[in-house]
Chain A
Amino acid sequence: MSNNLNFADVQGNILRGYGKQYVRHLVLTVANASAARRWLSEATSGDESAAPQITNAEPWTERRRTCVNVGITRDGLAAFGVPAASLNSFPHEFVAGMAARNTLLGDTGPSDPSKWKEEWKGDGVHLMISVYADDAQDRTATADRILAARGAFHLRAALDGDGFPGGVVHFGYRDSISQPQFYGVHDPDRRRDDQPFVEIGAMLLGHATPIENLRWEVPKPNVLGYNGCFNAFRVLEQQVVEFEAFLSECADALIKNPLSEVVLPPGEEAKWDPPMSRHAALREVVAAKMLGRWRNGVPLALSPITPSPQPAITDAGLNNYGYSSDPDGQRCPIGSHMRRSNPRDAKTVQRNTNHARRLVRRGIPYGPQYDPAHPVKAERGLLGSFMCASLTGQFEAIQYDWTNLGLQDPRITGSNDPILGNNDPLFSRFSFPVGDGMVKFRGFPHFVHTKGGAYLFQPSMSAIRHLATLSGGGTVNRR
């Protein structure tokens, strides 16, 4: 399906990832509106010597060493001079901001916005400029050039994400395997999975969406809203030590449970690559059941009892599965993080939502990688961008309806995502069927705490040029 998309008009980190190891997110306040607008103009001028250029989505002829993208909050748009009528044409959740949506998102208790890092508090979070690079020096050099922009911005924080080898994130899972593939962007002859291709209107405003006939409204004026995308940026602190301790507790319990012989036939662990003790292997079983993939990325749906199936699953095959042949979650639990976040072809309560809530995920870990041989407590987590054309229709719908509430299947309703959820040890439960029995774990805490974040709008390149022509702004004219 052709969609006549002008790739040069779309920011480059939305429809495809850059595959860069190093990211620096600059969280900024507009210090001087004219200087900030001048920076926008220079950063879209095509003249790299004037300012690092904002990367668009045109296919590359050669690999770029660094890429730059921009997301702007509602207050940031006001600071650039966007008038109130135009601001109010943005969706209400974007106008309200992420912190105001905290109960719905599950950001309560340790994740409550009052406990967020200082840079995310108050009205001064205006924009985030993200620098992606293949090496740390290039990242610093580009970020420093941006910050040198003649008094345009005040730096609230520079958040560094350093990718780990093998695309692994904290908790030890390989990430960034499943992403939506778009009509007119990805090649249908080289599709990686059987999930339906997605209309670009799932990401970009002004285009057909995966929901028949439905189009999200484009904020006014059209030049500002068209080809824009929303980005729910989250700083998600991960309690790695507690998570690993929980896996050990579960393995202690499971090893005494006769069902463990069904979920992992005795001796199977010796055939794994590398072979493991029974206890260590059962820890891996629990980790896989909580996510939906073994920690090396092999999906339970394709390989339920071993992370090292023979013949091996190629990288391209890691995403080629659904859940319709596993209606009860015998292989991949209905309550696992992945099956909650994208039920693929599984039966769901909200019958028209299966492929309608796709998200592009761009995440990178921060903090030191956890070494089980030297378990050191440190701040670690994920700098996660969750991109979509409608924050309520996609990001919040996943986070609230599916992750936090489990509405999509009556067998998990009222339980929270075991990895991500705002779990309270008094009520938390995670269970998965094994034959006719059920393995149940209770009393686990909240392994991921939100430490900050913002709802950002990633304008098109024309919109950025439009912002550069405005006047006024500067002060925060919050509602």
Chain B
Amino acid sequence: MVKGFFRSIWTFLQHLLERILIAFWRRAAPIKVAEPGYSTVLADNLQMHMNLVMPLADQTAVGRARAAQAIAANIDELFTGLNNVGTVHFARFDLIGGNLCMYSVFDGDFRAYIRDFICVFGSVFDSLLGLVADPPPSPSALNPEAFIDWIHRHDSFQIPRDLTSLFPEEKNLENLSRDLVLLLDEKPNVQLGRFSGYPGVSVAQIRHGAGLGW
């Protein structure tokens, strides 16, 4: 009991010190993070990932149940829409903690993907976003750029394979861990790595090759 009490004081102090240190680092040596960009290797622009994490307005079991029901009620329309976008390999809807998440793998440009998504099932998505804290301006079809920017902000940051490429202005490799702490302090949700069993192939190429029609 007493041990537990001291441990939680210690953890609290540790977190406080971390916050002070992070604030100090942020002032002393702010980081410049390279946004993941497009690749000059064409095939690397296929099978892109979107990991959308959207905090729910009501994160209680009741609020989460409401979100689960809303997805269930719209699932057919969502799946038909995703099929019609044409460039989507996979898409999943999950509830993780108090967040409604949509994870998908798609081909090509992120903004083109979301724009096609607005055209095909924007209205269904608009109704789902009513459940989310701080939703984007609605309807998405009349605010496409703002909607795309909002999705971009809620898409988990993707950490590249080569950590050094994240911080183009960092000259000293010993500072990498500190830079990473600052980055993760800014971005709570990140994607750490991805694997593909068939890299460099589009969904339409897979469908075409497998005789599924595209």
Contacts and interface: CB of A to CB of B under 8 A. Distances in A.
Contacts of B170: none
B205 A401 contact: no
A370 interface: no
Contacts of A411: 208
Given A216-B145, A217-B144, A392 B39 contact: no
Interface of B: 37-40, 42-43, 45-46, 84-87, 107-109, 111-112, 115-116, 118-120, 122, 139, 141-146, 149, 200, 202-205, 207-209, 214
Interface of A: 91-92, 103-104, 108, 211-217, 348-353, 356, 392-393, 396-397, 400-401, 404-405, 407, 409-411, 413-416, 422, 427
Contact of B86 (A103, A351, A356, A400): A351
A410 B84 contact: no
B64 to A, nearest CB: 31
A409 B204 contact: yes
Secondary structure call for the B interface = helix
A414 B120 CA distance: 25
A407 B107 contact: yes
B86 A217 contact: no
B205 A410 contact: yes
Q: Summarize A's interface: helix, strand, loop or mixed.
A: loop
B42 A212 contact: no
- Which of B43, B84, B122, B205 gathers the greatest number of chain A CB atoms within 10 Å? B205
Given A352-B119, A397-B109, A401-B108, A407 B143 contact: no
A216 B85 contact: no
Given A213-B141, A410-B204, 11 more contacts: A91-B145, A103-B39, A350-B86, A350-B112, A350-B116, A352-B119, A392-B112, A401-B109, A407-B202, A411-B208, A414-B43
7 contacts: A91-B145, A214-B118, A214-B144, A217-B143, A392-B112, A410-B207, A422-B40
A169 B45 CA distance: 32
Contacts of A407: 87, 107-108, 202, 204
A400 B145 CA distance: 18
A262 to B, nearest CB: 24
Given A350-B86, A413-B46, A414-B200, A108 B111 contact: no
B120 A352 contact: yes
B116 A352 contact: yes
Nearest to B207: A410
A158 to B, nearest CB: 33
A396 B142 CA distance: 20
Contacts of A427: 42
A393 B114 CA distance: 11
Contacts of A416: 42
A71 to B, nearest CB: 20
A350 B107 CA distance: 10
